[in-house]
Structure 1
Amino acid sequence: MTTDSKRKGIRLPRPLAIFVWAYMVWNLLPVVAAMAFSFNATRSRSQWQGFSTQWWSGTPLSLFDNEEYTAALKHSLELAAMTTVISTVLGTLLALVVTRIRGVAKRPVNFILMIPIVTPELILAVGLYLSLTFITVWPFSVVELGTPAQVVGQVTYTVGFVVVIIRGRIAVLGDGLEAAARDLGAGPIAALVLVLFRLLMPAVLVGAMISFAFSIDNFVITQYLSSDSSTVSIPMYLYTNARGGNTTPALNALATVLVVTTLLAVALASLLYRWATRRESVASDVTGTVALSA
């Protein structure tokens, strides 16, 4: 099989393709409709009355002129930024450590790291709330409900995904490159930083973007660990006000910001990974072509 034939892929049968497209439309149509009504000319969130940007800016009830909306948006971005930085650093370090563990300790460590991923988010949120509220020993006693607890909860939930992503990258790379650097005279730290970490950078960037996406649209953990109105995030505000009779399409605008930000984070993660690994893909294609020619 040639390289060109590999890239062509496999054509789906027409019924299966129709089913896939129908499923995608079914998922996207409600979201697109909700986003479209953020540009409605009237207060209605169900009947289209013409195009207008008044719910985004320019009126006291618009998204960027309403204090409650902007506070929720600001808090969500702050949580996402802190969670992304902490989860990425911890996840990278944990992935490096776990891949070097040998013996009987490897399986228990892997199991513990997977607990936040496989545990239902509601159970994790309740457990964190009870731990931070009723356990009075360190470190639980120093974390208060509100922004600190929300960051701790979101990091606990997202760090496992970062570990999985980076461990997958380490498994693809293998330990040959780091060993080669050691054979050429590099010390342990130099081999780790100058060789392995640079090659892990695509996975680190993807892990960061995925952490950001998970954080900014997280509701359950953020809700349980909030303290007052100053720690209300966008998902929390949407949940509280979505069914209110006095809400305006500015709420749709807030939801649009959440959707677009999440999609941009995921798209950026994909683009960064492709950009960072493009040379490896080219090298792989060249190697494969040479091997086939031989």
Structure 2
Amino acid sequence: MTAVTSWAPLRWLRRNAVVLAGLAGLLYLLLPNAVVLLFSFNNPAGRFNYEWRTFSTEAWTNPCGVADMCGSLTLSLQIAVLATLGATAFGTLAAFALARHRFRGRGAANGLIFLPMAMPEVVMAASLGTLFLNMRVGFGFTTILIAHIMFCLSFVVVAVKARVASMDPRLEEAARDLYAGPLQTFLRVTLPLAAPGIAAGALLSFALSFDDFVVTQFNAGPSTVTFPMFVWGAAQRGVPVQVNVIGTAMFLIAVGIVLAGQLTARRRGRSTA
């Protein structure tokens, strides 16, 4: 009996090895966010917020206490929202075209979609910057927005295309059999079915655009400073605590959106069950 009971923990570890490994990986990924959250309540003695000193909520009560930080944050949010709208609109149309229609060059188009995702980001950033220089376009808000849409487009196409490919076409055929027109079928059947993929592509596009530095650095004007560029410049002089506050707030908002989506999906599943 002693030998049997001594092996019981080992058997439990074997049964739950995958779950434990997944939890360990998740904790490892969330550890930097926990550190950022912790040091957002720090009151550093010098310019660098690397060592814990005393607990303080000053950075949370005055997040715009650093000059130009909230201006750069507003600019990043504006670009991220507009880039998300543009990339989601064009990417959704391209995904439906690639998934539902056969045309000449379809295989080449599928391959080209993956190029921005496969190539180094600096290559795309330099290419777009060279294009704007040759076209003699002034660098600034517009060039950053165009570059971000081009950068995020591939991710939206992949997300939406995967969702469209898994949709059952018989549901749309049933709607047409019930005398629904093309527009009515798209709005009431096709679009709701594709909505999870579109939402995933939009969220990914927003995160990539808001967080991007390399593409922005190559296509920004001298007076255009986004939030990642502000953080990069501030890191050379000392990152203020407010940067941790903004990072924590964005992380919590993202987690809240994901949880809200999961709860909504569960409620819909229960209502249809």
CA shift for structure 1 position 217: 0.9
Using the size of structure 1 for normalisation, the TM-score is 0.77
Q: Would you say 1:144 and 2:138 are equivalent positions? A: yes
Deviations 1:143-181 (A, max 9, x none): 531111111111111111111111111112132222222
Q: Secondary structure at the match of 1:67?
A: coil
Separation in 2 of the partners of 1:263 and 1:115? 32
Separation in 2 of the partners of 1:77 and 1:64? 15
Separation in 1 of the partners of 2:19 and 2:191? 40
Q: Would you say 1:169 and 2:163 are equivalent positions? A: yes
Deviations 1:235-292 (A, max 9, x none): 1111222242xx35xx243244235415633652464266247646876xx6xxxxxx
Number of the residue aligned with 1:268: 257
Count the aligned residue pairs. 260
Matches within 5 A, 1:157-236: 157-229=151-223, 231-236=224-229
Separation in 2 of the partners of 1:29 and 1:99? 39
RCO higher in 1 or 2 (8 Å CA, sep ≥ 6)?
2
Using the size of structure 2 for normalisation, the TM-score is 0.82
- Structure 2: which 5+ runs fail to align? 1-12
Tell me which of 38, 41, 44 is aligned to 2:43. Answer: 41
- Structure 1: which 5+ runs fail to align? 1-10, 287-294
Separation in 1 of the partners of 2:18 and 2:236? 37
Q: Would you say 1:237 and 2:230 are equivalent positions? A: yes
Q: Is the 8 A contact 1:83 1:154 kept in 2?
A: yes
Q: Would you say 1:50 and 2:50 are equivalent positions? A: no
Q: Is the 8 A contact 2:125 2:214 kept in 1?
A: yes
RMSD of Structure 2 on Structure 1 (CA)? 2.8
Q: Is the 8 A contact 2:159 2:201 kept in 1?
A: yes
Inter-CA distance 55–199: structure 2 relative to 1 (3 Å threshold):
same
Number of the residue aligned with 1:6: none
Q: Is the 8 A contact 1:84 1:212 kept in 2?
A: yes
Q: Is the 8 A contact 1:80 1:215 kept in 2?
A: yes
Matches within 5 A, 1:23-42: 23-42=25-44
Read off the aligned partner of 1:211 and give its amino acid letter: S
Q: Is the 8 A contact 1:128 1:153 kept in 2?
A: yes
CA shift for structure 1 position 49: 2.2
Inter-CA distance 282–172: structure 2 relative to 1 (3 Å threshold):
farther
Separation in 1 of the partners of 2:269 and 2:208? 28
